[in-house]
Amino acid sequence: MQGFKNATNGQSGSITETVDGTETSVSYHPVDAVSNTWAVLLLQHNVDAAAAAAVSSAYNFSPDAIDLPKQKQ
């Protein structure tokens, strides 16, 4: 999935991809945890354009919204 590749490369955003033959909105964000970069993905199958737009705007996220334990120095 391109969203996963983008997130593990340090990018965040939203794109439309085909997942299991279904058009799907994918929002993605990288998360640096311990010594790895993890990818947070939100997938929503597109029912119609209006529903996809509502889901996309409702689920925008930022790194500030993710509460992870701090890495030990």
CB burial of 5-40 (b: ≥16 within 10 Å; e: otherwise) equals: ebbeeeebebeeeeeeeeebbbbbbbeeeeeeeebe
Query: pLDDT value at position 69?
Result: 57
Q: How far is CA 23 from CA 15, 63, 65, in A?
A: 10, 26, 27
pLDDT in tens, 1-52: 899 999 989 899 999 999 888 899 999 999 988 888 889 999 988 776 566 5
Residue scoring higher pLDDT (43 or 56): 43
**Nearest-angstrom CA–CA distance, 69 and 25:** 29
Name the residue ranges covered by the structural domains of the chain.
2-64
pTM: 0.60
Residue 30: predicted pLDDT: 92
In the numeric block, which tokens belong to residue 69? 């334990």
Spatial separation of the C-alpha atoms in residues 61 and 55, rounded to whole Å: 12
Q: Where is pLDDT greater, at 55 or 16? A: 16
